[in-house]
């Protein structure tokens, strides 16, 4: 059962990473197209800025869990590197708990925001008129996945604190 959950989690994060790569490629094409239209034909698009603004948010929140899982976030470890292994794990557990709670709250409130946007039919007041439920839905999905990753890391750190002889655990 555990390996199935880990495999499903890996598949979800890989999917989010690949979609992020496609989003980045799409943004590159649309920004180049808009720039070309603006400066060559003096006819900028009415939709490029709006869509790419939302897609930047997508890139920021959807890739966060994968970056956390791969330990690719920037951090300062000067003091932590000088601590004992058990104290390092205790700090790792504390950070995982705090990160999980913070991201869980953001996912919960973002979910409420997305549901309200769906219920009231909110749209951006522009010519394109993007339904706000789509950009708002990125918040609970991205921060929810990051909260799950923090919880998994917290469980791993807690297990290492209780049973240090078992060695590494992978999340």
Q: What H or E segment, with its residue span, contains residue 26? A: helix 2-40
List of residues 6+ apart from 159 with CB closer than 8 A: 166, 169
Is the pLDDT reported for residue 170 higher than 70?
no
Domain count, the chain: 1
> Is residue 143 included in any domain, yes or no?
yes
3 state DSSP class of 14: helix
Per-residue pLDDT, averaged over 82-97, amounts to: 89
pLDDT given at position 166: 67
Q: For residue 6, what are the CA distances in angstroms to 11, 67, 110?
A: 9, 16, 25
Helix/strand/coil percent split, the chain, to 5: 75, 0, 20
pLDDT given at position 113: 96
Q: Own/partner pairs for 24-33, CB < 8 Å, 24+ apart?
A: 24/59, 26/55, 27/52, 27/55, 27/56
> Is residue 171 included in any domain, yes or no?
no
E strand intervals along 11-124? none
> Is residue 58 included in any domain, yes or no?
yes
**Residue 16: how many other CB atoms lie within 10 Å:** 20
Cα within 13 Å of Cα(84), Cβ side: 5
Is the pLDDT reported for residue 151 higher than 70?
yes
Q: Enter the pTM of the model.
A: 0.85
Name the residue range of residue 44's domain: 2-166
pLDDT given at position 67: 87
């Amino acid at each position: 059962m555990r390996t199935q959950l880990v495999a499903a989690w890996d598949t979800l994060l890989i999917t989010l990473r690949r979609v992020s790569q496609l989003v980045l490629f799409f943004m590159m094409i649309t920004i180049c197209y808009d720039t070309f239209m603006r400066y060559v034909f003096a006819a900028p698009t009415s939709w490029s800025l709006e869509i790419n603004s939302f897609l930047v948010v997508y890139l920021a929140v959807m890739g966060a869990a994968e970056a956390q899982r791969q330990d690719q976030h920037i951090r300062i470890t000067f003091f932590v590197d000088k601590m004992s292994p058990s104290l390092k794990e205790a700090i790792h557990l504390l950070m995982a708990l705090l990160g999980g709670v913070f991201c869980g709250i953001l996912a919960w409130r973002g979910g409420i925001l997305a549901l309200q946007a769906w219920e009231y039919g909110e749209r951006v007041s522009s010519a394109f008129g993007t339904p706000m439920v789509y950009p708002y839905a990125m918040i609970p999905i991205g921060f929810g996945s990051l909260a799950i990753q923090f919880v998994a890391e917290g469980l791993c750190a807690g297990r290492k604190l209780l049973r240090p002889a078992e060695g590494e655990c992978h999340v």
